[in-house]
Amino acid sequence: MGVNQGGRTRRRLSTEERREQLLSVGARLFSESPYDDVWIEQVAEIAGVSRGLLYHYFPTKRDFFAAVVERESERMLRMTAAVPGVPVREQLTAGLDTYLEYVEAHAHGYRAFHRADAAGDQAVRRVYRRALAAQERQILAALAADPEFGPVLGTRPDTRIAVRGWLAFTTAVCLEWLRGSELGREQVRDLCARALLGVLSL
């Protein structure tokens, strides 16, 4: 009694702490294995907690996954907020630098986040799409505000899709980078920057 399977005495955390811990474990597991290879029991065991507790914090496994994705998307958006007033060509390099910094620092969460693209159900997808749309909006706004790009691109209908595609490009490159890392951060940054300018080529 009073002990769990690890042999340590049970610790009672605050709701916030426990929630955070569970999401953290989830991010790690979901980054390593696809959705249905992640056992709810596995999450509980690693967290040193019972299966039932997870269902106290999250209604279903999917909601749990959605929460992991949402937490990561919030963190990502917070870190990559645009700096208004600066020309796109400069802002791009700086923005990509912080983005890549985030990717390196939260590789697990980043991978888990991008699993929501194809793996999730409607609810998970909605969270994912909202995050993507926010990034997209951020970029489009920065482009529109720039005297070099704004006037030209505003009139073209494919600008939005191009930006969305570029996000997919960047994501794929980053995931590949995390995987093998045959490239340095600067190379990745320059490649992605070149890609955006190329896609929008005038």
Instruction: By CB under 8 A, name the binding residues for its own copies.
Output: 33-37, 114-121, 125, 157-158, 161-162, 164-173, 176-177, 182-183, 187-188, 191-192, 194-195, 197-199, 201
Cα-based angle 161, 129, 60 (whole degrees, multiple of 5): 160
| Residue 183 partner contact from its own copies, DNA, none using kind-dependent CB cut-offs of 5 to 8 Å | its own copies
**Of 31-39, 69-77, 129-137, 157-165: span binding DNA (CB under 7 A):** 31-39
Any residues with CB less than 8 A from the CB of 162 and at least 6 apart, and which?
199, 200
Q: Which is nearer to DNA, 12 or 78 (CB)?
A: 12
Q: How far is Cα 140 from Cα 112, in angstroms, rounded to an integer?
A: 26
Q: Which is nearer to its own copies, 22 or 132 (CB)?
A: 132
Q: Which is nearer to DNA, 53 or 133 (CB)?
A: 53
Q: Which is nearer to its own copies, 49 or 88 (CB)?
A: 88
Any residues with CB less than 8 A from the CB of 80 and at least 6 apart, and which?
95, 98, 99, 102, 135, 138
Any contact of residue 130 with DNA (CB under 7 A)?
no
Q: Positive or negative, the Cα torsion across 64, 66, 72, 77?
A: negative
